[in-house]
Structure 1
Amino acid sequence: MATVSFEQPGDQFLCSICLGIFTDPVSTPCGHNFCKACITRHWDSNVVCVCPLCKDTFYTKPEMKINTLLSQMASEFRSEEPAAKPGEVQCDVCTGTKLKAIKSCLRCEASFCQTHLGPHLTAAPLKLHQLIHPVDSLEDRMCKKHKKPLELFCKTDQTCVCSLCPVLDHKNHEFVPLKEESEGKKAELGKTQTEIQQKIQQIQLKFQEIKQSAKLSREAADRKKADGGQVFTALKQRVKKDQADFTETVEKQQRSTEKQAEDLTKELQVELSELMEKNAEVEKLLLSEDHLHVLQSFSSVSTVSPTTDWTPVRVHQRSYDGWLEKAVAQLEGSISKEVKKLLEVELRKIQQFAVDVTLDPGSAHPTLILSKDRKQVHDGDMRKKRPTDSPCRFNTMNQIPCALGKQSFSSGKFYYEVQVKGKTEWGVGVVAEKIDRKGSFTLSPQRGFWTVWLWSDHRFLALASPPVVLSLKSKPEKVGVFVDYEEGLVSFYDVDAAALMFSFTGCSFTHKLLPIFSPGLKHGGTDSASLIISAVTHTQ
């Protein structure tokens, strides 16, 4: 038999008693169709069997058989509707398997599947009922006091009410339809959603930023490990070679000593053999009773051939004192050369982040004199007439005269170099933009200063907490300043010696950073050289 399917059942497939698709449909003698269970219950509850639709009366209860065709058609349609899954709203009318509800009726206070929703779509009185998306607990949508649907919103009390509430309980209040208030709230939610989406986007961007930073950090760490591996491999090879050279030198000297001892032993062995032979002849004559033979052999045996005087002969025994110390010193020199090469390579990499820095006249202490190109500064020994009310200017009599760079940095890496040749006092580094420039302050990282100084007593200091005295092999003539903002690193280099002077590590930068320069005090002309921001020439 051909299969017949329906997108939506008509009234002819619905039981007028249960309003659902037929289950075991039967036909009455008058020609109307009902579920067998529905019509049986209906007739069992009445004395006379009456058709619920046409009111025909049957004085004898009719014997009814299942309408096979109608049953098959109803089954075909019912099989297309999904059963309600856990958590889904169930049809309140279904008697067997509960199907998934597609609408809820506020007037009927019930939810309907596609089949049982039919009358609400076709029957004129039911079309006036308010249908909504299927929901559980329809009683929550009813006024608990008046048992009517919640249709209005009381703006005065900020609550949902039914149509009777304004008359009985909310007199003189302001009301609007639920839809109107809902649309207003949706507009507010739209703004909230936009704000949430913006924050989600910000977090997603930050997530990507952190992920990318971690990736770049891993790549940098891998590169640094590779560089370190090459350096330490070279150092190990140098140590191994110097150890081999030291061992070979000691062994060579020992072989020389052993050769000397061997040669002397051979000479001694020859003389010893000759003397032993002569002694045997003498011994033989002493024991002989042949007097004639004794007399005839005496002259040849009694004379002893001259021998070497071995008393002063010595095998020179090496003490090797100082040899190990000398080898270690040579090794230290070799390692120092390798370390210098490493630092030169590192400095060349850092110099790639060189930036153009100029002095900011608006920040310069009144005693300082700046060159026209804003690249040089020295102490003028007397205060200049400059505006003193600017919050940017260092302006206290007891301050060390300072000036800041015009350029500021709030991310990434940057590097600049300062010539300090011929000066007996100077200070360079970076500072936070928000530092105090008026009162007396301590030059420390806690105050926003990351600086290195040469004082008039010839001490080099890194002004950490506490300050660190720097032991430098030579007096720098040009100082390089390198900053890695994200890494929290500020490093100072003796450029000509390619030597690291000092590093501030683990810094937490939260403001813009500016270069800081102090040429020190002029001291009556004994320190009149300028501090010069020099162009970066890459180390060879």
Structure 2
Amino acid sequence: MAATNKSSVSADQYSCPVCLEVLKEPVTLVCGHSYCMDCINDCWDKSDKEETYSCPQCRRTFNERPELNKNTVLTELIEKLKDVTVDGGSSVSYAGPKDVPCDVCTGRKLRAIKSCLTCMASYCETHLQPHRRSEVLNRHKLEDPSGNLEEKLCTKHQEVLKIFCRTDDTCVCLLCAVTEHKSHDTVTPEEARAERQCQVEERKEETKKKIEEKEKKLEEIKDAIEKIQVSLVCPISISQ
């Protein structure tokens, strides 16, 4: 029997488009889109007065409220993915002590994969999907997960620190840059980071040269000491 391929797909990728959580009691509509049974029922309960029902994703409408049946295949697949991974551990990436937790997850939080400097929040794979699907949210500034997002905000204007002021040696927001730092020498954080990196490399090189010079002087001192010791021992040997 051929070896079974171990899935690399995480269960948290099977998310409900309504609640953005991993599907619970998944149901699949005739259009192919899947939802938590409670989520789609809540949506359609609000539509009962109008007697129009549609898929929240593709907007396909139905003349009558469709009968919902639990998708047993999808349910079993999600359960298996929760229990089995390549290394035998949990497929859901829960946040550990050193990880940045997702700000949207309820209960036990998943590990965040991105932080949004526009929303000032961190998101797991599931809750990051709106940022990837929406044209508006897609313009937001995403970066690697950070547990100290508040430190990236200007304490005065509550705006993201996007400018580095060389004059005051500090990061400022755009409002600060055009007001109290208007006449200062400012650059982007990327430029400042590159300059600092060059300075670090230069200092490393200078330190390396100084160490080499000291080692050379130390060798010269050792040679001088050995010569002195030889000159002191030789006369004694001759007299004997």
* TM-score of the two chains, using structure 1 as the length reference: 0.33
- The alpha-carbon distance between structure 1 residues 44 and 119, as it changes in their structure 2 partners (threshold 3 A), is same
Q: Distance in 1 between matches of 2:126 and 2:210?
A: 45
Partner of 2:224, secondary structure, is: coil
Counterpart for residue 224 of structure 2: 409
Q: Judge conservation of contact 1:5–1:76 (CA < 8 Å) in 2.
A: no
Deviation of 1:185 (Å): 1.6
Pair 1:69-2:73 in alignment: yes
Q: Judge conservation of contact 1:14–1:20 (CA < 8 Å) in 2.
A: yes
Deviation of 1:179 (Å): 0.9
Q: Judge conservation of contact 1:103–1:132 (CA < 8 Å) in 2.
A: yes
Partner of 1:414, secondary structure, is: helix
Q: Distance in 2 between matches of 1:149 and 1:181?
A: 16
1:259-338 alignment, distance < 5 Å: none
- The alpha-carbon distance between structure 1 residues 413 and 168, as it changes in their structure 2 partners (threshold 3 A), is closer
Pair 1:26-2:55 in alignment: no
- The alpha-carbon distance between structure 1 residues 68 and 93, as it changes in their structure 2 partners (threshold 3 A), is farther
Aligned pair partner of 1:85 in 83, 96, 103? 96
Q: Judge conservation of contact 1:103–1:117 (CA < 8 Å) in 2.
A: yes
Counterpart for residue 223 of structure 1: none
1:464-483 alignment, distance < 5 Å: 481-482=232-233
More strand by share: 1
Residue identity matched to 1:414:
Q
Deviation of 1:412 (Å): 8.1
Counterpart for residue 17 of structure 2: 16
1:116-515 alignment, distance < 5 Å: 116-121=127-132, 123-193=134-204, 409-410=224-225, 414-416=229-231, 481-482=232-233
Deviation of 1:152 (Å): 1.6
* TM-score of the two chains, using structure 2 as the length reference: 0.64
Give unpaired runs (5+ residues) of structure 1.
Answer: 206-407, 417-480, 483-532
Deviation of 1:116 (Å): 3.8
Q: Distance in 2 between matches of 1:121 and 1:198?
A: 50
Aligned pair partner of 1:95 in 106, 116, 129? 106
- The alpha-carbon distance between structure 1 residues 20 and 170, as it changes in their structure 2 partners (threshold 3 A), is farther
Residue identity matched to 2:35:
F
Residue identity matched to 2:197:
K
Q: Distance in 2 between matches of 1:151 and 1:80?
A: 37
Give unpaired runs (5+ residues) of structure 2.
Answer: 83-89, 216-222
- The alpha-carbon distance between structure 1 residues 41 and 115, as it changes in their structure 2 partners (threshold 3 A), is same
Counterpart for residue 536 of structure 1: 237
Deviation of 1:84 (Å): 1.8
Q: Deviations over 1:390-417 (max 9, x none)?
A: xxxxxxxxxxxxxxxxxx933587244x
- The alpha-carbon distance between structure 1 residues 43 and 137, as it changes in their structure 2 partners (threshold 3 A), is farther
Pair 1:52-2:56 in alignment: yes
- The alpha-carbon distance between structure 1 residues 4 and 410, as it changes in their structure 2 partners (threshold 3 A), is closer
- The alpha-carbon distance between structure 1 residues 82 and 59, as it changes in their structure 2 partners (threshold 3 A), is same
Partner of 2:164, secondary structure, is: strand
Residue identity matched to 2:200:
L
Aligned residues: 218
Residue identity matched to 1:92:
D
Where relative contact order (Cα < 8 A, 6+ residues apart) is larger, the structure is 2
- The alpha-carbon distance between structure 1 residues 72 and 179, as it changes in their structure 2 partners (threshold 3 A), is farther
- The alpha-carbon distance between structure 1 residues 156 and 132, as it changes in their structure 2 partners (threshold 3 A), is same
Counterpart for residue 220 of structure 2: none
